[in-house]
């Protein structure tokens, strides 16, 4: 868990930019984290493209999706996705809502998304499907009312990822220690799993993990060491993208020759 609110804000900002850099978020989508000191609040960026998010953009909202601390910033309309899931699930510590094309294809086709390789097991035993049309008729396909948020949270149930009909997906993470890292790990590798599942289908067959394989693979990859290894890699890639890699290298002291 981050040691301070300032560190938490920085991690939320970095997670936004990592997921943008890895192609999961573009101008749209958003990341949040439950407040490290108050479970009745969460941290999320102001209304801004994820690739641009900085720590100063992070605001505190309550579980109704309203500012817990006064802010002059415009807020995401779909902040209710995060508010409703945090309100319904005390074990959820971080959330990402995205429209990654590899996953969106399954949300359009209403096709079952299943783990097909070891890192895909992070999706969990089931990826439920929610369609706003089933309960609310024809809408703009965005989740902006408390009723829509509550319906989505109910459909997510005890699982960690949900497909949203013709819209995208929402992914959650639970780890108290790792907070955002578990959610980022799950978001990235579930999208890659979707790509591989589609490719396997085109080749002729989808050979999914058995239930026991999925449980064992998920437990193995949710250990701190794999998540830290992946997080360090994504942070390095982000630093290179943002031009910070060369500067960081230049600040390192030169190694002495033996």
Residues annotated catalytic, as ranges: 78
- Residue 13 CA to residue 108 CA, distance in Å, equals 29
Residue pair 31/15 in contact by the 8 Å Cβ criterion: yes
Residues 6+ apart with CB under 8 A from 157: 128
Residues 6+ apart with CB under 8 A from 85: 92, 95, 149, 152, 153, 156, 170, 172
- Residue 10 CA to residue 16 CA, distance in Å, equals 10
Q: How many CB atoms lie within 10 A of CB 210?
A: 10
Q: How many CB atoms lie within 10 A of CB 178?
A: 21
Sign of the four-CA dihedral 166, 172, 158, 161: positive
């Amino acid at each position: 868990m981050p040691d301070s609110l300032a560190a938490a804000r920085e991690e939320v900002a970095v997670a936004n930019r990592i997921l943008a850099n890895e192609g999961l978020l573009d101008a749209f989508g958003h990341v949040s984290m439950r407040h490290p000191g108050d479970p009745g609040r969460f941290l999320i960026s102001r209304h801004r493209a994820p690739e641009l998010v900085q720590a100063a953009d992070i605001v505190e909202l309550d579980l109704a999706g309203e500012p817990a601390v006064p802010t002059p910033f415009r807020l995401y309309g779909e902040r209710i996705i995060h508010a409703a899931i945090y309100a319904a699930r005390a074990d959820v510590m971080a959330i990402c809502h995205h429209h990654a094309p590899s996953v969106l294809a399954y949300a359009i086709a209403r096709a079952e998304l299943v783990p097909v390789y070891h890192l895909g097991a992070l999706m969990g035993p089931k990826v439920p499907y929610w369609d706003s049309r089933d309960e609310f008729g024809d809408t703009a396909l965005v989740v902006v009312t408390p009723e829509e948020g509550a319906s989505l949270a109910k459909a997510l149930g005890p699982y960690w990822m949900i497909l949203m009909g013709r819209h995208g997906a929402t992914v959650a993470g639970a780890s108290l220690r790792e907070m955002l890292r578990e959610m980022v790990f799950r978001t990235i590798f579930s999208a890659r799993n979707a790509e591989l599942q589609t490719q396997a289908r085109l080749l002729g067959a989808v050979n999914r993990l058995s239930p026991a394989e999925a449980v064992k693979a998920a437990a193995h990859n949710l250990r701190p060491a794999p998540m830290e290894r992946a997080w360090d890699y994504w942070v390095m890639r982000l630093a290179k993208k943002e031009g910070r890699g060369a500067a960081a290298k230049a600040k390192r002291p030169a190694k002495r020759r033996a």
